[in-house]
Structure 1
Amino acid sequence: MAEGRRVTAEAADTPLLRIASVVKRFGGFVVVDGLSLDIRAGEFFALLGPSGCGKTTLLRMLAGFEAPDQGAILLDGRDIAPVLPHRRPVNMMFQNYALFPHLTVRDNIAFGLKRTDLPKVDIEARVREMLALVRLEGLEARKPDQLSGGQRQRVALARSLARGPRILLLDEPLAALDKKLRESTQSELMELQRRLGMTFVIVTHDQEEAMTVADRIGVMDRGRLVQVATPRELYEAPNSRWVASFVGDINMIEGRIVLHAADRIMVDAPDIGTIAAVPTSRPQSADIGVAIRPEKIRLEKFGVAAGDADAGNGGFNRFAGDVIDVNYLGGASVYRIRLDSGFVLRASVTNASRSDGDAMSTGQRVTASFAAADCVVLET
């Protein structure tokens, strides 16, 4: 995750970009609904959400290709909503790269620079700088159809950076790349952003991508921000059932609180039984959801005595069932366990050894357990 990167104290105090109660409608349909957000200088920020949630429309408003119907977009305290796209210190890299097929790599990168007052010698120097930055030296005379997908992506990135924008907007920039190239390009983007100290705002529907590159993530649904948090906070402490289900895999169990103890609650969950959970704050409602990530679940062959971790739960959160299928994913295996209650639980187990001596098989009787502290209590 990228959350180890830190912006400066000055950036943390004053947002570079402030989106204030922005609304965008197309006809009678509200695409962005009263959205407010602060983005700091030097931050790598991700807008994450399903298709149609409004994230690309928001990005286009930041770029100036769409105008908000209400609200303000403030850059360094100045409302840029009325400012034309080419006059904003903001550049956008498009999902399809939008390269000019008849121009060389050099001319594609120089295209925006030629529409400024820069002398020709300065333009040539800037193009050389961009070629070096994205490691495309020696390819400047080629045209886009003579490049690989990854190379075309670098040309588009260099062109977007050539004019030195305050903010770089990236609209699903890695969607067209294969998995291996996408992973290596993610690392390159992160390193580039660190070196430049520039603010990057990326739009993606790929949760893994957002959690890899971003300092913070804003999750959108139906035109609204539903949670803004670091990758770890978003994954480990989602603020609603919807966010918990959207980000990563989850076991969601509905129940009712029957006891408030000093450090935990007891939940009567009809689908599974009694659950002990440790909430981060006292729930205001008795009816709650208890979310458990698959990797937090411990599997043992049936009949094995409870370990120290299970003993800490006072005998709770330990359920018997049968393995109904196994998905081997290389680094981990994902099991579906049908508990004796009929509820199907998903568990992810790291494949720490090359041998399969500890692996469970379909039809095997097992015990699934989890710690009370690993339960996320959700009221909405």
Structure 2
Amino acid sequence: MTDEARLGSEATAQADKPLLQVDAAVKRFGGFTAVDHLSLDIRTGEFFALLGPSGCGKTTLLRMLGGFETPDGGRILLDGQDISGVPPHRRPVNMMFQNYALFPHLSVRDNIAFGLRRAGMPRADIEARVAEMVALVSLEGMEKRKPEQLSGGQRQRVALARALARRPRLLLLDEPMAALDKKLRENTQAELMRLQRQLGMTFIIVTHDQEEAMMMADRIGVMNAGRLQQVATPRELYEVPNSRWIAEFVGGINIIDGAVESSGGGRITVATQAAGSVTVATPLQALTTDQVCVAIRPEKIRLSSGEAAPDAGDAAGTNRVEGVIAGVSYLGGQTRYQVRLDRGALLHASVANTVRREAEAFDTAQRVVACFAPDDCMVLDR
């Protein structure tokens, strides 16, 4: 290998090396295990989301990364160095808390400058850095205000500027938008994504909001009972869940229990009591039993009136089941239908409202045909 090729190979390996490595981390509180032998790699410049139900351990993990909790086992490596026992103020890591934790007696300028002063930065450099942060989060003209004189969104931006001021290698965000209204939340999400791309910094956000995680993150780690259940991109997590639990937790889904009847030609036929025989594409994950479930996302189901013939363009093997509309929910951009099938299953279908007229809408008690392709279904172990 030439020197040029060797240097190129070493540079590639360095670029692929994770910035943060969590190695079999454990955290217990008395007899309760909040984080259970959890391992995770996070890349430089990545926007990573920790998602999970309340009490799953995601905030405890974040606090361990920030140095506010000490692991009872395992290691936390940053750039290959074990920081498990390093106190928060000595880590190149900053954390933005859910309640922002601003000092009420300090101005916007002094809140942002607080950590810089503690670090002993020269006064001129502090002034320059504070001015940079104020401009970055669009707070010009508000430098002398106290937190009580700011809106919730403005207080959040002060907290963000303070967290960014020391230019940490890693920024931790603990449900930073939980207290914001929907419109402000959406604006702030877009602003955080812009800042993360602009700064090239690694962000880790804890959230219980699935839409927030799906919109913002490059990858998502879904936790339950102190363990990671799956780490994947938003699309992979939604379209290729690795278990029934993940499929049910992430987004809306229809689950129909059954048993494998036959397989071949890239297809599996599943016999179900509630919907008859369903043809499904061969799963990416190996099944461990014939007792399975069929999973279908609501937007994958197409509805037509009960008298209509299947579309001429339907692929061979398209599943067709019949029933009646049991419920209708109009949500503006889409309408959600509950369809009670003749065999008993209740399917949820989501239809995009692409036109203003109601000619294509369905009414309660109307008979319909629900169609879904084998490639749009998933088959998972029960």
Smaller-chain TM-score range? over 0.9
Paired position in structure 1 for 2:378: 376
Aligned counterpart for 1:285 among listed residues 284, 289, 314: 289
Match of 1:167 among 167, 170, 175: 170
Instruction: Provide the residue aligned with 1:69 in structure 2.
Output: 72
Structure 2, unaligned stretches of length 5 or more? 1-10
Compared with structure 1, are the counterparts of its residues 279 and 369 closer, same or farther at alpha carbon in structure 2 (3 Å cutoff)? same
Q: 1:11, 1:40 within 8 Å by CA — same for their partners in 2? A: no
1:259 to 262, 279, 287: 262
State how many pairs are aligned: 371
What's the Cα RMSD here? Answer: 1.2
One-letter identity of the residue aligned with 2:88: P
Percentage of pairs with the same residue: 65
Q: Distance in 2 between matches of 1:230 and 1:57?
A: 23
Q: Deviation of residue 287 (structure 1)? A: 1.2
Matches of 2:75 and 2:98, distance apart in 1: 26
1:247 aligns with 250
1:106 maps to which residue? 109
How far the C-alpha of 1:9 sits from its partner, in A, is 5.8
What 5-or-longer segments of structure 1 have no aligned partner? 1-7
1:305 to 306, 309, 312: 309
2:237 corresponds to which letter in structure 1? L
Q: The residue matched to 1:227 in structure 2 has which SS?
A: strand
Query: Does the aligned pair in 1 maintain the 2:48–2:219 contact within 8 Å?
Result: yes
Residue 341 of structure 1: aligned partner: 343
Q: 2:143 aligns with which of 137, 140, 143?
A: 140
Q: In 1, are the aligned partners of 2:283 and 2:380 still within 8 Å (CA)?
A: no
Deviation of the 1:284 alpha carbon: 3.6
Partner of 2:155: 152
- Displaced runs of 4+ in structure 1, greater than 4 A? 8-12
TM-superposition CA deviations, 1:74-103 (whole Å, max 9, x none): 000000011011000000000010111111
Q: Residues 94-128 of structure 1, C-alpha deviation per residue, up to 9 Å, x if partnerless? A: 00101111110000000111101211111111000
1:208 matched residue in structure 2: 211
CA distance in 2, matches of 1:279, 1:19: 34
Distance 2:351 2:14 in 1: 40
The aligned residue for residue 5 of structure 1 is: none
How far apart, CA to CA, are the structure 2 residues paired with 1:362 and 1:338? 11
What's the TM-score, normalizing by structure 2? Answer: 0.95
Query: Given that residues 335 and 351 in structure 2 are in contact (C-alpha distance below 8 angstroms), is that contact kept between their aligned partners in structure 1?
Result: yes
Distance 1:167 1:11, change over 3 A: farther
Counterpart residue number, 2:331: 329
> How many Å apart are 1:280 and its aligned residue?
3.1
- How many angstroms does 1:10 deviate by? 5.8
Match of 2:189 among 186, 189, 214: 186
Corresponding residue number in structure 2 for 1:196 = 199
Q: 2:382 aligned with 1:355, yes or no?
A: no
Matches within 5 A, 1:15-164: 15-164=18-167
CA displacement, residues 14-54 of structure 1 (integer Å, 9 cap, x when unaligned): 00000000010000010000000000000000000000000
1:317 correspondence with 2:319: yes
2-side partners of 1:188 and 1:44: how far apart? Answer: 13
